[in-house]
Amino acid sequence: MRDRILVYKGLKPLCYFILTYNLGKRVRPVLLSPNINHLLSTLKSIIEFNLLLKLKGLYNLLLLHADFSDVKIALTGTPGTGKTTVSKLFDEQGNKIIHLTEYVKEKALGEQNEQFHVDVKEMREALKDEDFDVVEGHLSHHVPVDICIVFRTRPDVLRGRLENRDYSTEKVEDNVESEALDVILSEAVQEQETVVEIDTTEKRPEEVFEEAKRKIEKGENSYGNFDWTQFL
């Protein structure tokens, strides 16, 4: 089926060109202009638009696979902001994931008292020899990567998520306060060259994943967008 028909009607001082679209039904030809320059400009716009659509489709197809094997990514944020859930979506796309909470315990990179206290310096050294695409955890911003994504959640919503984890009141309040004060973001900015924020407060994991992919592709700093000090 021809989707475009260009009819040239004779060599006259003012040439008439007719451009119509055929969408599987009869369409009455529409006279665009007797001016050839106008017509050529119109055709150029149509061609460029259709090419743009095809390129956009190809771009979205490539992003659908989301293989970032040439980029090292850190997913960090206060506990409860959605890091682990979104990291599973990266995993499903074939990316190699390191979950720091499990990793540091397996490698004994710290000391176990009432809680496990991580030796950040030892952790950084150990990860130099690891092959990964994505490192996930609330300390992952201390790991040298190409781009660090800080997940953010509004403190009142974060409190509810952490209470559902049966955290102690003290632990819940410590984490909510850290989120309101941008603690992890501040540390990430000091440690990393490229840092971006994503607000996960009202987004599904799939939406956060899509936003993360776009920010990775863009590769530019984007942070300092949230002020949650009113929750202190």
pLDDT at 18: 37
Shortest CA distance to 163 belongs to which of 148, 178, 176, 151? 176
pLDDT in tens, the chain (232 residues): 333 333 333 333 333 333 344 344 444 444 444 455 555 565 556 555 555 545 554 444 444 455 666 899 999 999 999 999 999 999 999 999 999 999 999 999 988 776 778 999 999 999 999 999 999 999 999 999 999 999 999 999 999 999 999 899 999 999 999 999 999 999 999 999 999 999 999 999 999 999 999 999 999 999 999 999 999 8
What is the side-by-side strand order in the sheet with 17-21? 4-8, 17-21, 30-33
- How far from chain centre, in Å, is Cα 219? 10
Q: How far apart are CA 116 and CA 201, in angstroms?
A: 28
- What is the rounded CA–CA span in Å between residue 46 and residue 40? 10
Q: What angle do CA 84, 178, 185 make, to 5 degrees?
A: 70
Q: Is the pTM of this model over 0.85?
A: no
The tokens 């060109």 sit on which residue?
17
Please report, as a single letter, which amino acid is at residue 31.
L
* pLDDT at residue 117, as a whole number: 87
Query: What pLDDT is stored for residue 31 in this prediction?
Result: 43
Taking only the tens place, the pLDDT of each residue in 93-112 is 999 999 999 999 999 998 87
166-200: pLDDT as tens digits = 899 999 999 999 999 999 999 999 999 999 999 99
Which pLDDT score, from 0 to 100, does residue 17 have? 39
List the structure tokens of 87. Answer: 């990291």
What pLDDT score was predicted for residue 55? 52
How confident is the model at residue 114, as a pLDDT? 66
User: What topology does CATH give the domain 73-231?
Assistant: Rossmann fold (3.40.50)
Q: How confident is the model at residue 52, as a pLDDT?
A: 52
Q: Which two tokens stand for residue 40?
A: 């050529």
Name beta bridge partners: 6. 19
Query: In the chain, where are the structural domains located?
Result: 4-65, 73-231
β-strand partners of 142? none
Question: Is the sign of the CA dihedral 64, 65, 71, 77 positive or negative?
Answer: positive
Phi, psi of 117, rounded to the nearest 5 degrees: -100, 115
CA angle, corner 136, sides to 133 and 140, nearest 5? 100
Angstrom distance (rounded) from CA 46 to CA 51: 9
In this structure, the number of other CB atoms found within 10 A of the CB of residue 51 comes to 10
The Cα 50–Cα 53 span in angstroms is 5
The residue written with tokens 């260009």 in the block is 6
Q: Are 197 and 223 in contact (CB under 8 A)?
A: yes
For 221, the token pair is 């700093």
